[in-house]
Amino acid sequence: MNNKVIAINLKQTLTWGTVLCGLLISSLIIAYSYVSQRDMLLSTYQTQLTHSMRHLGKHLSTEFAKGNISQVSLTLEDYYSDDKYAALFIIKNDLVMKLDPQSEAGFNLFTRVIKEHNVTSALDTHDLITVYIPAKQYFVTVIPVSPTLPVSDSDDVIRLVALYDVSQIYTSLKQQFTAKAVILIAFLVLLTAGLLSFTHYFIHRPIKRLIDVGHDLSTKSLTSRVQITGQGEFAVLAEQLNKTAQTLEQNWQQQLQTNQELARRHALMTSVFHALPDLFFIINSDSTIVECHTGKKDDLYLSPEQFIHKKMADVLPHHAARQFNQAINSATQQHQLTQIEYPLTIDGQNKLFEARLSPIPNSEQLVIVVRDITEKKKQEEVILHHAFYDSLTDLPNRFLAMERLTQQLSTAQRSEALAVVFFIDLDDFKRINDTLGHEIGDQVLVAAGERFTLSIREQDTVARLGGDEFIILMNGFDHVSDITCVADMLVKLFHEPIELNDRDFNISISIGVAVYPLDADTPAELLSCADTAMYNAKKNGRNGYCFYNQEMSLKLSRQIAIEEALRIALAEDELEVFYQPQFNINNGEIFGAEALLRWHSKTLGSVSPAEFIPIAEQNGLIIDIGLFVLATTIQQVNQWQKSLQANLKVAINLSPRQFKDPNLIQKIALLVDDRSIASHDIELEITEGVLISGQAQVKQALDQLHELGFKLALDDFGTGYSSLNYLRHYPFDVLKIDQSFIADMLVSTESQALVTTIINMAHSLSMKVVAEGVETSTQLKILQQLACDFGQGYLVSKPLTAQQFEAFFRTQNTNKKVIAHSRL
């Protein structure tokens, strides 16, 4: 369909068309009306004139025939009364017959008219002839009036000639038509004006409004609307234009929002491009780079501009370009993210780059993001190294060790040889750390690791599990005796001191040995067996090795079961404090007791404190448990002091771990205050183990307790270092001789001598002495002889419940002399 149509300027066309048509039509009407009326008038006058002249001609012919010439003159004069006759005369041939005075003038006028208008032929006819001379607006009528007819000789013909003037008629006709034309023109003007008004209001104005709105719309003023009411085409057009405008406006708004969003995204992309150190490329389907952005302009292989309109093959070395081309093909064909890594040398430095190629949806282009991953790779390698190697010693860590152990077990399985895990722990390493600081401790660990590494084969593995624990993995053994040799060798490695900063460190190691497939056949189990064996080696006196056996495992299981049950013991109300009476050796008087904890486990039955206290020590539960003993005992002492009306004194054991509680002193002081107990009625027993660490904090705590009035007792004296220094430096009031010496006193003179020495030494330091484990009257007697102060043991009583103790106290103190003397 041809949509091409021609438009005209409707306003001008209608205006001028209306005006011109009006003018033309009115002119034509007027002209036509004028001409037709004029012609009709002329025709009428010509007919009247012809008729009148025929009548006159006949009359004159008659008069001429009668010879009544005067009558002719009179008749002519009568006709002159009609003033339209400009001339009326009779001629014979070319000469006028003077019948009246007017004939001469009329003839002259006639002659002039005839000549000027060349109508002389009118005189040649023998019939009536009427000629109209428009220029003069005269009718010329000639009619023969000869008395005899027919006239043979034309020259003798007498003719009546009349000039009939119709100019007045013309004038009147013109005036009449001028008036009509004026009216018609006025009418036409009004009609035209009406038409113009009509077209103005109903055509031009709507069109103008439509054009204006069209203009507004074209100049982006899309809110513009046109208001045209009615039913006409313009109203329909306006409505459609408004709808179109509304659609346009909505589209424009959407377009605007889209553009804003696009602009925002573009700005975002630009910011991202500039914020990121990555290099962004956009490439066409033919691999030509069309865009290149980056926030980091330095350190590039080429400047971003140099990449534009190039292909990777044009700018990158062959190997990198080849990788790129393969990746571009892959990303394009599979429509998925493709990633490559490639090396480049920039300013003499080897770098590694990562490129991610992603197809842009609905486009044939790809976006490529290039990132310098040199540092990241290095960090990954470092992280990877950290994941598998110990940061201090740079030895394989537990994770890698377990991997290698798995491999070794497979090898051992194939070769049917023995594989071994040596689980090594540095003896007393904690002491090094605590006394000399962690820096020295670290150096010792590094030196130990190096010593291990130097002592083993290349195929073996030394690993650090953490702290002072190492493992050595070996395989290919045929006999257990070979393994013993290695274990020996490892122990002896440390018989030479470790030299650090011109200082020698004497350390020893304890080794647990587990053998595949004799002890276990999985890496975890084998390691666990070696660990258990190592603990046994420690128990066996350290500085040695111990092979794993089943019994160890049972002990370990028991330990784990105790640990689990102990965690809920307090909450389950399974703990109870027993009290073992303490008495005066000389008179047998019960003056107090030692608080001893008992555990009635619902799952394990009664468990000895000798078994569970060390475990509670290890896992820290002793802090809460110790507080329970303190609180219960102090509360009990308070009750007894009231009910028994005796100044009872009670000894409470404190574990080494409890001294790590910074609030220990405060807690004890508070408990005593709450129960209104005199602090000197509470004796706090500690073992040498508390003092071994030599921590200033322990000394400070003991001093504070002493200052607060608490009595301090050194428990199990003789079993540990039994250092005199401890007795001199710490404010002990009481020294408890370990029950093993009391038991041995009867069989060993050395033990008795030792007990004698301890008692004397304590007394010389103004300390009281308690003999533990007094079971017989012989022991009691000897202790009395040795001037020991107090005793405690089954001779008098086993540990009792609070209730039993109260009853026992009441009974015994009534019979104290009986005890003192009858049992001696």
Ligand X SMILES: Nc1nc2c(ncn2[C@@H]2O[C@H](COP(=O)(O)O[C@H]3[C@@H](O)[C@H](n4cnc5c(=O)[nH]c(N)nc54)O[C@@H]3COP(=O)(O)O)[C@@H](O)[C@H]2O)c(=O)[nH]1
Is residue 533 within 8 A of residue 480, CB to CB? The reply is no
Q: What is the dihedral of CA 473, 476, 480, 483, to 10 degrees?
A: -40
Strands 590-601 and 575-584: antiparallel
Least distance between ligand X and beta carbon 771 (Å): 10
Beta-carbon contacts of 431 under 8 Å, excluding residues fewer than 6 positions away, are: 692, 693
Tokens of 224: 């513009």
Least distance between ligand X and beta carbon 387 (Å): 42
Least distance between ligand X and beta carbon 817 (Å): 22
For residues 222 and 216, what is the distance between their CA atoms, to the nearest angstrom? 7
Tokens of 190: 């009004």
Least distance between ligand X and beta carbon 433 (Å): 24
Least distance between ligand X and beta carbon 730 (Å): 17
Bridge partners (DSSP) of residue 359 are 366
Q: What is the dihedral of CA 172, 174, 175, 179, to 10 degrees?
A: 140
311 secondary structure, DSSP code? B
Least distance between ligand X and beta carbon 518 (Å): 36
For residues 403 and 416, what is the distance between their CA atoms, to the nearest angstrom? 20
Nearest to ligand X of 55, 798 (CB atom):
798
- Identify the H or E element spanning 592: strand 590-601
Tokens of 56: 């006159």
Least distance between ligand X and beta carbon 511 (Å): 29
- Only one residue has tokens 């405008």, namely 245
Nearest to ligand X of 206, 799 (CB atom):
799
For residues 603 and 572, what is the distance between their CA atoms, to the nearest angstrom? 11
Nearest to ligand X of 487, 735 (CB atom):
735
Strands 509-516 and 544-547: parallel
For residues 370 and 346, what is the distance between their CA atoms, to the nearest angstrom? 15
Is residue 772 within 8 A of residue 806, CB to CB? The reply is no
Nearest to ligand X of 589, 617 (CB atom):
617
Nearest to ligand X of 198, 794 (CB atom):
794
For residues 700 and 409, what is the distance between their CA atoms, to the nearest angstrom? 53
Nearest to ligand X of 295, 689 (CB atom):
689
Please state the length of the chain.
824
Least distance between ligand X and beta carbon 472 (Å): 36
Least distance between ligand X and beta carbon 675 (Å): 18
Nearest to ligand X of 49, 630 (CB atom):
630
Q: Which among 803, 813, 762, 806 has a CA at the least distance from the CA of 786?
A: 762
Nearest to ligand X of 143, 604 (CB atom):
604
Nearest to ligand X of 661, 775 (CB atom):
775
Nearest to ligand X of 574, 685 (CB atom):
685
- Residues in contact with ligand X by CB under 6 A are 580, 594, 596-597, 608-610, 613, 629, 653, 655, 685, 715-716, 739, 772-775, 792-794, 799
For residues 794 and 776, what is the distance between their CA atoms, to the nearest angstrom? 8
Least distance between ligand X and beta carbon 683 (Å): 11
